[in-house]
Chain A
Amino acid sequence: MTACDRIEGLLAAYVDADLAPEEKDLVERHLEGCPSCAALADSLRSAGEAFAAFPEIEPSPALVTRLRAVPGRRRFRFSLDFLLKPSLQPVFAVASIMAVAFSLYASSPDKKRIEQAVTRQLHRGYSTFEKLTAKAGAITDSLGAAADSLYASIKTLNPLGKTDKYSQ
């Protein structure tokens, strides 16, 4: 650290007359022999004067009106806050997709073909669903039959040779 760096650190306090007497002497001795630091001390004083001369600006009447209306604005903002909930985002996403699909359909010149394609897909989906239901029913029936036959076999075998006291 050079002598100038050390003095620079004290200059603002020197200009504010906020230094202990020995530090003040140190700075003054340095300033006598260093034009650059002396110019910096002058600039610090000038900056202080210039800053003090910055006037306050009046806010415009339009701004004051906007500020006075803040309570009303906040109530309106609050009433719409629920729309920003993250939990509603999937709903908005689905709604957006549906809105896009509907607008594509509404603006299409070939609506009949779209309707036919949709009806075909719906029928296909419905018949697939019916087939699956029938298969599931058949599986349930065969499982029930298997369970009955297993139960009958176990009853016939009677491996422990016990008799049911209630059957006597």
Chain B
Amino acid sequence: METIIRDCLDGKQGAWNMLVDLYSKKVFNMAYQFAGSVPEAEDLTQDIFLKLHGALPKYDFGKSFTAWFLTLAKNTLIDEYRRTKWEKRQRDEFDERLHAAADGDDPERALAREEARKLLWAGLDALPPDMRLAVILKEIQGKKYEDVAEILGLPVGTVKSRINRGRLQLAKILRDRPGIPEGGHP
């Protein structure tokens, strides 16, 4: 990774392309899950890579590049959210084509999961931006608490409680959805 970054700093296009190939999917998904719309996520991803290109000379080679870059991505997402408030924005409709995942052979279970995913997708918008990003990194992207804490620049304890509060808020949306009797399993 160090060689790629040094080559990027030397202006080698091939090295930059490699960096794009390594991180574009990760960053695009983070932006998409955070913003909820593909065009917006594409613009945000481009902003993040523009900022990365400008900030690359400041990268400290002693630190983890992934954590440093994802922190830069997180700052861009939160700053953009605070700057525009995304007042007119709406999360894309839950798209099965995009969100389809293997649910096994049990159609009833698959339906319940699909419904849960729809509710959670919409419910992400109800979370404050910092909490939403923490939940995305831990629950959807499957990062460890320590990694999320490093990206967010917060102590692990703070991150844990923030994520757990977010999870509870979303779980309440699932629990209180109409048609499910109290104590019922989705």
Contacts and interface: CB of A to CB of B under 8 A. Distances in A.
Interface string A44-67: 101111111111111110011011
A87 interface: no
B174 A46 contact: yes
Given A71-B11, A71-B16, A59 B24 contact: yes
Given A12-B164, A54-B33, A68 B17 contact: yes
Given A54-B117, A59-B24, A68-B20, A43 B175 contact: yes
A11 interface: yes
A44 B116 CA distance: 11
B34 interface: no
Given A54-B99, A70-B16, A63 B11 contact: no
Contacts, number: 124
**In which size bucket is the chain B interface?**
35 or more
B43 to A, nearest CB: 9
B24 A39 contact: no
B42 A60 contact: yes
Interface in B45-81: 45-46, 49-50, 53-54
A51 B29 contact: no
A51 B132 CA distance: 13
Is chain B's binding surface mostly helix, strand, loop or mixed? Answer: helix
B13 interface: yes
Contacts of B38: 57
A40 B169 CA distance: 10
Contact of A40 (B11, B54, B164, B168): B168
B186 interface: yes
A13 B165 CA distance: 11
A38 to B, nearest CB: 5
B120 interface: yes
A42 interface: yes
Contacts of B53: 70-71, 74
A39 B182 CA distance: 6
B101 A44 contact: no
A59 B116 CA distance: 25
B134 interface: no
A145 to B, nearest CB: 70
B171 interface: yes
Given A12-B167, A46-B186, A57-B29, A63 B45 contact: yes
B185 to A, nearest CB: 5
Given A42-B186, A59-B45, A74-B54, 15 more contacts: A12-B163, A36-B175, A40-B175, A42-B185, A46-B186, A47-B139, A50-B113, A50-B116, A51-B139, A54-B101, A54-B117, A58-B25, A59-B24, A71-B16, A74-B53
